[in-house]
Amino acid sequence: MITSTPVARWTWGRDDESADALVCCLRDLLTAYRVLADHRLATDAPVVHVSVSEARKSNSLLFKGELTTEHHSPGEWDAAQAAAQLADRVRAGMRAGDIGSVDAFAECSGEIVTSAEGEVVRQEKLFRLGASSFAEFVTVDLVTHTDAWLPYDLKGRQQYEIHTANGPRLSAALSDLSEVLAAETDPDDPTYFSKPTQRGADNFFDADGAAADVWSSFEVPTRYDVFTHAPGFGRIGYRRTAEGEVQYVPVRGAEGELFGYLWASDADNAASFEPADVGDDATYRAGLIWLERLRAAHDRGMAPSEALAELSATPDTSAGLVDPASEPGTALLALLRDRHEN
């Protein structure tokens, strides 16, 4: 199960005067990436996002960019050499000025077991690996958004085979990271979903001893919030709530399953997608695509009802489709939302 906010985070930090801030940051990031690659927790050539702040000047960047690296087998990869090469590329594109702090990160796609039958899949963005360097102190942090490492999934269901296959790999990686980074593994504070430890992460348990259903308590409300609150404190795009009646059309998947409702209200300058089951990954992803389409329509100056009409006729079925023969219905938004709560 993949969450919107972190399941767990671990950090490593130490004093380092062996090189300048740029080299130290990139070296530790790529050293840590190689450890993850050794455990098949990162399987691609890293794409490194780097930002370099100017010393003694707030909000002043000397460099911000994305750098690709060559793909090598883990045993063939010299992290220090790769870091030096990246540092040279950053310096070639930097503005003149003194380096203050350096921050870098890379998304890590890797292999995990996702079923009791032992099926191995490649999971996009399995980890987010970051590093920062400032005042001769370097920090590395590792964040995961999956529950594959836990004895129970986020709904509180036991996943013995999945945990047995994935948990020891994470534990070994954390131990190796501590060794190569010359720093103890520091588990971050508990998240909504787990309690990080030096060897992995633990579930939360209810008073009766059962594993807690933190998915329903935290992930579902977090997901749903994006469909009811526009970004920028409601100032970006259409509003995503309405007081009165709205026009709506059902959106269905390829098998006829209901993904939710696309709705619009000119009176409230509002339009959004009402998911049928926001906890379902396919429904959630489809809903996000419809929100992107609505945002694009808003940016082109369309009224909500115009956007509803145009999007209802889109030939793109990647996020479900609207029956072209159906006419929009009318209902209070509160009633439309109540359909999924009851």
pLDDT tens digit sequence for 25-84: 999 999 999 999 999 999 999 999 999 999 999 889 999 999 998 766 656 678 888 999
Residue 342's pLDDT band, with cuts at 50, 70 and 90, is very low
Position 269 scores a pLDDT of 96
Position 260 scores a pLDDT of 95
Position 264 scores a pLDDT of 97
Helix (H) or strand (E) holding 138: strand 137-144
Helix (H) or strand (E) holding 110: strand 99-113
Q: Is 180 exposed, middle or buried (0-12, 13-18, 19+ CB in 10 A)?
A: middle
Examine the pLDDT at 22 and tell me if it is beyond 90: yes
Q: Which two tokens stand for residue 186?
A: 């520091």
Position 72 scores a pLDDT of 62
Closest to 63 in 3D by CA, of 73, 75, 78, 52: 52
Residue 311's pLDDT band, with cuts at 50, 70 and 90, is very high
Examine the pLDDT at 330 and tell me if it is beyond 50: yes
pLDDT digits (tens, 9 = 90+) for 99-144: 999 999 999 999 999 998 989 999 999 999 999 999 999 999 999 9
> Rounded CA gap, 242 and 40, in Å?
47
pLDDT digits (tens, 9 = 90+) for 235-291: 889 999 999 899 999 999 999 999 999 999 999 999 999 999 999 999 999 999 999
Q: Report percent pLDDT > 90 for the chain.
A: 86
Q: Which two tokens stand for residue 189?
A: 């504070």
Closest to 74 in 3D by CA, of 113, 107, 32, 106: 32
Question: CB–CB of 293/284 below 8 Å?
Answer: no
CA contacts within 13 A on the Cβ side of 41: 30
Mean pLDDT over 306-313 rounds to: 96
Higher pLDDT, 234 or 306: 306
Position 209 scores a pLDDT of 96
Percentages of the chain per state (helix, strand, coil), in multiples of 5: 30, 30, 35
Interaxial angle between packed helices 281-299 and 220-228, expressed in degrees from 0 to 180 and rounded to the nearest 10: 20
Position 235 scores a pLDDT of 80
Which residues, in sequence order, are bridge partners of residue 64? 51
CA contacts within 13 A on the Cβ side of 268: 18
Dihedral sign computed on CA atoms, order 244, 275, 125, 41: positive
Position 326 scores a pLDDT of 82
- Per DSSP, the three-state class of 306 is helix
Integer distance in angstroms from the first to the last C-alpha of the chain?
24
Question: CB–CB of 18/24 below 8 Å?
Answer: yes
Q: Which two tokens stand for residue 118?
A: 């032992």
In degrees, to the nearest 5, what angle opens at C-alpha 21 toward C-alphas 87 and 143?
Answer: 90
